[in-house]
Structure 1
Amino acid sequence: MALFTKRVLLSLFAGILVGEFIINTFSVVDTLQALVDLAVQLLTTPWILKTFGFIFLMGAVMHLMERSGGVNGFVYMLTHKLAVIKSDRAALLLVYAIGIVIFIESTITVLVAGSIGRPLCDARGISRAKLAYVADSTSAPVSSVLMFNGWGALMLGLITTQIGQGVMGGESVAWLMEAVILNFYALAALTVTFLVIWFKIDLGAMKTAVVKNEVGEIQENGHPMYMIVPIVMMVGGVFLFLFITGGGDILKGSGSSSIFYTMLVTLAVMGLFFVLKGIMPLKTVIKESVGGIRGMQAMVLILLFAFAIGQVTSDMHTGMYLASYVNAVLSPMWLAAAVFLLAAVMSFSTGTSWGTFSIMVPIAIPLAAAMDADMALVLGAVISGGVFGDHCSPISDTTIISSMASGCDHVEHVKTQLPYALISGTIAFLLFALFGMMR
């Protein structure tokens, strides 16, 4: 409905309403009560409130970076003083490299890549849809391959639980490392994205994607440090607060809290610096910050509705329903390919790869053990399917934030990214089928 009508909020609300109507056995009164209860539940959940706060704060930070001249100064430095961005390919490769290097948290990866890439792409007449695709297609894949982050902590916990229950033997770290090597979707997505950049491949809706600004001469105005310092603070702050919230262990830190506190500190330091240096008076800092926050209202509403429909599909036990068919119809050699598709459908439906991991690992591992299938390959299929479905899903938080950071219309981002994600997904599916037959 969202893809055809281009009305995301109405489409999400329709899905939530239908889901609650089914859950409450078609009672109008109970459905209305359930909608109220769902709204209260979401708006009183700490991590959700922190996520909304972080998006508002990010809007303020990005607006201040632009108004202070930091964005323009940064673009001028790269294109004129250093002359490292001389082509469309170079601009997108910088975004790609940022996605590879900053793997600690997929949300921060997208935000930094989008913030840096947006002025460069605008200056060169590259569509923001292309930017959103590159940022989105490096963040989650890299985070799911280099799992020295929250992704790794979650998977280690899920695998350790299965080892503790006697379903599988060995060490959880060893199993995770082997599964990461078999994370075919992430590896395919990173390869396809690089090839798309290098050979300037535009497929489907990407051919007619909207270009916000045409290529023009960039004048020196502002200082690049007004953009570089806040971005360094954002990246460094996430590490620091993950360390603090994790009690000295980064892997145990709270992602939502760390990002929220990082953005809060970054905004406060930026505002104080601009006032003390005379770049902006306090009144202007506040005014511009509020302007940036206002610009994020639509994204926060979309994210709220996305969380709501994710909760509805969870209440309907969508994952268990889909998984109940697998064991009855498959031989061991096809299990990994089937798990990949199942995880993808589940992730697409719920908009969360982490939620998919949490549902699928306890299902897939005992299934693999019972069918004497390749355990590491099935684990890799769970990870790959979760990331693949998340990439295609219009209700995924990463997809939504990629649109926000790149300044791209959300529906346009989903439509333009889908062909590339499907290519990577097809490659991954064929590899899981091939390895399943070989092992």
Structure 2
Amino acid sequence: MEYGFLSIIPPIIAIILALRTKQVYIALLFGIWFSWLIIEGWNPLQATLSMVEGMVNVFQSQGNTRTIMFSALVGALLIFIQFSRGVEGFINIINKKLVKLESKKTGYSRVMVQILATLTGLLLFVETSISSLTVGTLYRPIFDKLKIPREKLAYIADSSSAPSSILIPFNAWGAFIMGLLLTQGIEQPFSVMIASIKYNFYPLLAIILVFVVILSKRDFGLMKKAEKRTKETGLLMNKGSKPMVSDEVTSFPPKEGIPPKAYNMVVPLLVMVCMMPINLIYTGWNQVKTYTSTFDHVQQAIGVGSGSSSVLYAVITALLVAIIMYMIQGFLKPKEAVNLTLKGVSELMPLALLMLLAFAIGDACKVLDTGNYVANATESWLSPQLLPAVVFIVSSFIAFSTGTSWGTFAIMMLISIPMANTHGADITMVVAATLGGGIFGDHCSPISDTSIISSMASASDHIDHVKTQLPYALFGGLITVILYLILGFLG
């Protein structure tokens, strides 16, 4: 059955509700229900039952189930790392580096401390909240001592968290994106996701810009005024500012009576990251029939391997390694391991729920053929050369208005991928534009959870953080649109 114009109403309703209520869960849920209301001939009772069955059917896809399980178990791994005092040990190593810097000239110290803060945020790519919280709370005292404004710390924490998580997708972000690609019929989601990284200009530019600003010592916009204020008056914030204060690096108390050791954090995370390509090779090895060499076999196996299986096996392996390490050290008992796992899973249940709703609305819109309708409707006036830039701008607007990049990915993927197929555009570039637009809009948004956490951890006034970061984000966003247009028209 063809639904025509009706097929675009559910995602439009989801977008409008998200903008009005700022509650992406409610928006997606109502979008799913309205999709089934159309499919079931405007029967509200049958639509409600079909919505429930639609969410149950999400788990019929093994890829979806693995992705949701992975996201929940990442929460458990983070709790184990916090419990082991691994984060604290890592922080102590950084602090030793900071002590050495204090003997250097002030100008050198200012630059190196900001570089270390940025590198710390990039290295903690496994989870954006942990990255922002760690950078803000760890570096705040030394930033204050060196008279670096709180707005600069919040900017570094914010601009090194989400961009690194999207560019190094061996985390819940990568699993979520692969799940969305699978719902749109992409048979090799991992390969497409990895191939899109080179076109994901905004996160790349955001990170590059942080280093350029730090090394050149040349700020612009309101950040320049903040730097001038701090140097001339010593004020770390504007007069009348209301800092969002947080003294907690993690959400779970560490084990008492044990020494903090960095390897309790580094080893499990390293195991998880290293096991992902190994698992891709394992799951794709027997699917490769024709190859010229072992290296060629490995390359092809990575391309056709199961991304959802790989990330799930990787996080399970990392959890087992962490449990064994901590038991050998004598501070973890089997009962504690079970309790920690359940605690960690519960903390990331909102993330798992978002994935469930995202997959469900994707499935419903596939029945409505929403993506193909939009693609066909725009075929006469929207050229493939313009598509990446348009997708980036629309994704940016949704993310800015809702404050969530993940919700933006869920809504836009089901529209942008069919449009790419219909218009003959490069699918990897369109995927990159969707993802980059979500990050850009999130960076500009005052209701973004990542921005709020960065302000809180840095004890910065949140509005001041948004205002000082905005010129940098807009600069990166403008360059990104120009790059998409150049690539679109010049190929």
Equivalent of residue 235 in structure 1, options 273, 282, 303: 273
The Cα of 1:275 is off from its aligned counterpart by: 1.6
Partner of 1:110 in structure 2?
A: 125
Task: Work out the CA distance in 1 between the residues paired with 2:47 and 2:318.
Answer: 42
**Matches of 2:272 and 2:214 in 1, distance apart?**
26
Report whether the alignment pairs 1:70 with 2:86: yes
Residue 391 of structure 1: aligned partner: 439
Structure 1 counterpart of 2:247, from 213, 217, 230: 213
**Which has the larger displacement, 345-354 or 185-194?**
345-354
Deviations 1:142-184 (A, max 9, x none): 67xxxxx999xx9xxx9999xxxxxxxxxxx9xx99x987665
Contact 2:327–2:333, Cα closer than 8 Å, also in 1: yes
Larger Rg over CA atoms: 2
For the 8 Å contact 1:353–1:389, the answer to whether it is kept is no
- Residues paired across the two proteins, number: 376
Compared CA separation, residues 193 and 276, structure 1 to 2 (3 A)? same
Kept in 1: contact 2:279–2:313 (CA 8 A): yes
Are 2:161 and 1:135 equivalent residues in the alignment? yes
TM-score by length of 2: 0.61
Render the CA deviation track for 1:61-110: whole Å, top value 9, x for unaligned: 11111111111111011112675897662344214654xxxxxxxxxx83
Name the residue aligned to 2:322.
270
**Corresponding residue of 1:375:** none
> Which residue of the partner structure matches residue 124 of structure 1?
139
The verdict on how the C-alpha distance between 1:241 and 1:112 changes in structure 2, with shifts beyond 3 A counting, is farther
Letter paired with 2:162: D
Match of 2:386 in 1: 337
Question: 1:372-429, CA deviations, whole angstroms, 9 ceiling, x for partnerless residues?
Answer: xxxxxx66752442323443688xxxxx9989x99999xx9xx969956665443332
- Asked if 1:31 is matched to 2:69, the reply is no
Q: Any idea what SS the aligned residue of 1:278 has?
A: coil
What are the equivalent positions in structure 2 for 1:239-388 lying under 5 Å apart?
A: 239-247=277-285, 248=298, 249-329=301-381, 335-342=384-391, 345=394, 351=410, 358-365=417-424, 381-388=429-436
Q: Does the 8 Å CA contact 2:371/2:417 hold for their aligned counterparts?
A: no
Any conservation in 2 of the 1:309–1:350 contact (CA below 8 Å)?
Answer: no
> TM-score w.r.t. structure 1 length?
0.68
Query: Using a 3 Å threshold, how does the CA distance of structure 1 residues 73 and 391 change in structure 2: closer, same or farther?
Result: same
Distance 1:112-1:182 versus aligned 2 partners, 3 A rule: closer
Q: Specify the code of the residue in structure 1 equivalent to 2:163.
A: S
Sort the Cα spacing of 1:78 and 1:186 in 2 relative to 1 into closer, same or farther, 3 A. closer
Separation in 2 of the partners of 1:294 and 1:24?
34
* CA–CA separation in structure 1 for the residues paired with 2:440 and 2:94: 33
> Contact 1:51/1:256 (CA < 8 Å) preserved in 2?
yes
Which residue is equivalent to 1:49? 65
Distance 1:202 1:20, change over 3 A: farther
**Partners of 1:28 and 1:381 in 2: how far apart?**
39
Percent identity of the aligned residues?
A: 23
* Inter-partner Cα distance in structure 2 for 1:49 and 1:436: 36
The code of the aligned residue for 2:268 comes to: P
Gaps of 5+ in 2: 1-16, 102-108, 141-149, 170-174, 224-240, 250-255, 286-297, 399-407, 443-447
Mapped partners of 1:129, 1:361: distance in 2 = 34
Q: Is the 8 A contact 1:322 1:342 kept in 2?
A: no
Deviates more, 1:69-78 or 1:248-257: 248-257
| Cα distance change on mapping 1:71 and 1:133 into 2, 3 Å | same
Correspondence for 2:96 among 80, 84, 91? 80
For residues 188-199 of structure 1, what are the structure 2 equivalents within 5 Å?
A: 188-192=205-209, 194=211, 199=219
Q: Give the 3-state SS of the residue equivalent to 2:330 in structure 1.
A: coil
Cα 1:128–1:6 change in 2 (3 A) is farther
In 1, are the aligned partners of 2:126 and 2:165 still within 8 Å (CA)? no
- Structure 1 residue 194, shift from structure 2 partner: 4.5
1:355–1:288 Cα change, 3 Å: same
The alignment partner of 1:223 has SS state of coil
Cα-Cα RMSD: 4.8
CA distance in 2, matches of 1:343, 1:361: 13
- Distance (whole Å) between structure 2 residues aligned to residue 425 and residue 44 of structure 1: 39
- What is the CA distance between 1:230 and its match in structure 2? 0.8
Partner secondary structure for residue 324 of structure 1: helix
| Residues 1:182 and 1:5: Cα distance change in structure 2 (over 3 Å) | closer
